[in-house]
Structure 1
């Protein structure tokens, strides 16, 4: 794994910790810096980390603090509580076998 990817992952983890402690503005800067490292190194973050920040305001999504989640019709709806950005993910259900 490249050094830039490792550093970006560390920054994303620290951004979540800062958001939980109330430092949302600093955590936004960490997310932006992590995304800059990923872009310059031409590497990809893991899926969990790609989905862990708001694409509009770059705040880390922490359930109950900066994010709300709900499930409706086999769809997970995630909403940023700071800017209102919404992302929908289709949930895979178990299929019935005849």
Structure 2
């Protein structure tokens, strides 16, 4: 595991903790930093990180607080309540 990947994991943990404390602006900043770091070092973000953040507004998603999660026709549908963006993932 490279240094960049370790840093991305740490930023994911910090974003989760900040969102748990209802500090969404701080969590959003951690998400942005992690995405920039992944782009610069040409390493992908972990799937768990991608699916717990909104691509449109970079907020850390917490189901029931700022995200709505539904299962519909074999897909998981996640809607961000901050910006209204919708993501669909195959049901695994």
TM-score grouping bracket, smaller chain normalisation? over 0.9
Match of 1:11 in 2: 11
Tell me how far apart the structure 1 counterparts of residues 21 and 9 of structure 2 sit (CA, whole Å). 19
- TM-score, scaled relative to structure 2: 0.92
Structure 2 partner of 1:54: 54
Q: Which 5+ residue runs of structure 1 have no aligned equivalent?
A: 93-98
Structure 1 equivalent of residue 64 of structure 2: 64
Task: Give the secondary structure class of the aligned counterpart of 1:88.
Answer: strand
Larger Rg: 1
Runs of 4 or more, structure 1, over 4 Å off, are: none
Size of the alignment, in residue pairs?
92
Counterpart-to-counterpart distance in 1, 2:83 and 2:89: 19
Structure 2: gaps spanning 5 or more residues: none
RMSD: 1.1
Q: Secondary structure at the match of 2:13?
A: helix
Partner of 2:30: 30
Q: State TM-score, norm by structure 1.
A: 0.87
